[in-house]
Amino acid sequence: MQEFTTRPEILGTFGVVASTHWIASAVGMSILEKGGNAFDAAVATGFVLQILEPHLVGPGGDMPAVIYSAKKRKVEVICGQGTAPAGATIEHYTAQGLTIIPGDGLLATVIPGAFGGWMLMLRDYGTMSVREVLEPAIYYAEHGHPMLPRVSETIRGLADFFAKEWPTSFATWLPGGAVPEPYAPFKNPVLAETWKRIIAQSESVSGRENQVDAARDAFYRGFVAEAVSDYLKTAEVMDASGDRQKGILSADDMAGWSATIEAPQTFDYHGWTVAKTKPWGQGPVLLQSLALLQGIDIAAMDPGGADFVHTVVEAMKLAFADREIYYGDPAFATVPMDHLLSGAYNDARRKLIGPAASMELRPGRLPGFEAQHNRTLDMLAGMASGAVYEPTMAHLTEKRGDTVHIDVIDRDGNMVSVTPSGGWLQSSPIIPGLGFCLNSRAQMFWLKPGLPTSLAPGKRPRTTLSPSLALFEGRPALSFGTPGGDQQDQWQLAFFLRYVHHKRNLQAAIDMPLFHTAHFPASFYPRTSDLGNVMIESNVGADVLQRLAAMGHDVTPADPWSVGRLTAAGRDANGLLRAAATPRLMQAYAIGR
């Protein structure tokens, strides 16, 4: 493997923030410097990212977080993932002539969960007021921020569509009818006014916690929900199905939903305990991959060599195959995670990792789940195949949405790993009077009955959003994550293995060439797969690319520094804090002091 130079990781003792945008990271640090804790900083950073990266995240989206509270001394998950509306039945969708749910438009919408998740974090773990955490976002929405070139390119690619089909989006993103130029100041004054109204209603009551609850009420039971409902009563908009469709989300849906706190799914690996969401998200695939790799000497492998890439890819193929059969909202389906993470199961599955690349989707066949296994494979056999890509990287389209990520650790040891997404400017039209649009997370449901991910009212979609938090010998030590859809846990796995086994520092582990496979069905419309495919940064070296091809992989070389957007933060036993952010796209940033 050729040698790579890396930036040093950031060190601090007061606090560290790493996120996918340099301004957002600075905002998070400013909150810490004003006396806020890690949770306050994460909330403020999250709302600012909605302004700075609207092609990747918006107020109508979702946000799962894995957190450690120094006060509680426990790891928990905040689920800000909205559920399907009451009218979201398979019968309703198939009556529209649909066989899969479009990736945009109003039928792809679930209840927006991000605002509720952020407010739950602020109320139960933070220390600041609604005003204090929203003011930075209001400032950039009202006074302007330098538009990222990729946001400008996204808007340019959709300008004609917006003008013809989504006029409210055209008015917001092309003010005066012109595509905003890269780095030119850009404003969203309507969204700024929405947040100001939220603050005003929060401050109509006394007490910090009561004010947070009043803000949630304004969003889910007040003027925001009313504006959403009024718009959806008459709106019929074009989506990826090629038809104009009406939405089904109602004010009652929003009023009846709230974010929740729950226990994480965990797995112990070489002295580390990795915490993820439950299988309503894809996070446990990283744990299953670790369980498969537990019996392989990863430390003896070159972390940039062909054997490492091959072994990790083959393990991920097996874990993601199980995702397709078994994962879903545990409130609606029995998900056998204990079995999937058990030693006996993974000892048997590990034998499937051979010297040649697999060209089959090979989920495990668990007792009692045979019918579910057969139904899923029968359905997938009828799905199209073809290239599947992660949409934020430089070599790919600008018209799909994606995600952002935030890691924060404060001097008291509070830790936040959060992956907000959804409500992209590409998702659906801007709602009049609010300055933001709804999400498209419902595209992750199937319209076939009898599956853990079958569409049903009140069910959480099996999101790809996958923050990570890890403890070393019981001590909270590491927060990490990345945007990237189905690739999130793949890039995180490579980073984590290199950090744990090869003693790279955070930045060096992030900077090493990244790779992923599209071997399994994508979570996003049109749900295609590409058996045997491996996309890998070409700076891994020609010899590695040739060896992978010789092993049978369908290798797609990507440009150097073009895959993955990882960030990470760590805390040593002595309290020293560390943070790192990917140099890819020259946009993410880690800061500390």
Tens digit of pLDDT at every position of the chain (593 positions): 334 445 789 999 999 999 999 999 999 999 999 999 999 999 999 999 999 999 999 999 999 999 999 999 999 999 999 999 999 999 999 999 999 999 999 999 999 999 999 999 999 999 999 999 999 999 999 999 999 999 999 999 999 999 999 999 999 999 999 999 999 999 999 999 999 999 999 999 999 999 999 999 999 999 999 999 999 999 999 999 999 999 999 999 999 999 999 999 999 999 999 999 999 999 999 999 999 999 999 999 999 999 999 999 999 999 999 999 999 999 999 999 999 999 999 999 999 999 999 999 999 999 999 999 999 999 998 776 554 333 333 333 345 568 999 999 999 999 999 999 999 999 999 999 999 999 999 999 999 999 999 999 999 999 999 999 999 999 999 999 999 999 999 999 999 999 999 988 999 999 999 999 999 999 999 999 999 999 999 999 999 999 999 999 999 999 999 999 999 999 999 999 999 999 999 999 999 99
Over 190-252, what HEC string results? HHHHHHHHHHHHHCCCCCHHHHHHHHHHHHHCCHHHHHHHHHHHHCEEECCCCCEEECCCCHH
**Backbone phi, psi, residue 35, to 5°:** 105, 0
Distance CA 36, CA 121 (A): 13
Query: CA torsion sign, 74 to 80 to 83 to 85?
Result: positive
The answer to whether the CB of 570 falls within 8 A of the CB of 405 is no
Structure tokens at 22: 């340099």
The answer to whether the CB of 424 falls within 8 A of the CB of 55 is yes
Domains and CATH numbers, the chain: 53-261+422-444 (no CATH), 266-391+481-560 (1.10.246.130)
Distance CA 368, CA 325 (A): 13
The answer to whether the CB of 82 falls within 8 A of the CB of 111 is yes
Alpha helices in 358-454 (DSSP H): 370-381
CA angle (122 as vertex; 120, 124 as ends), nearest 5: 65
Helix (H) or strand (E) holding 42: helix 38-52
Cα radius of gyration (the chain): 22
Distance CA 409, CA 207 (A): 26
Distance CA 38, CA 66 (A): 12
Structure tokens at 365: 């066949």
**Backbone phi, psi, residue 185, to 5°:** -60, 135
Partners of 581 in beta bridges: 567
To the nearest 10°, report the CA torsion of 453, 565, 45, 13: 120
- Rounded to 10 deg, the angle between the 306-326 and 542-550 helix axes is 50
Neighbour tally for 176: CB within 10 Å: 6
Closest CA to 134 of 22, 78, 216: 216
Torsion region of 379: left, alpha or beta (phi above 0 gives left; psi -120 to 50 gives alpha)? alpha
Pairing of strands 567-571, 468-472: unpaired
The string of pLDDT tens digits covering residues 155-178 is 999 999 999 999 999 999 999 999
DSSP reduced 3-state for 11: strand
Model's pTM, two decimal places?
Answer: 0.96
DSSP tag of 422: B
Distance CA 349, CA 343 (A): 10
Instruction: Assess whether the previous peptide bond of 461 is cis (omega < 30° from 0).
Output: no
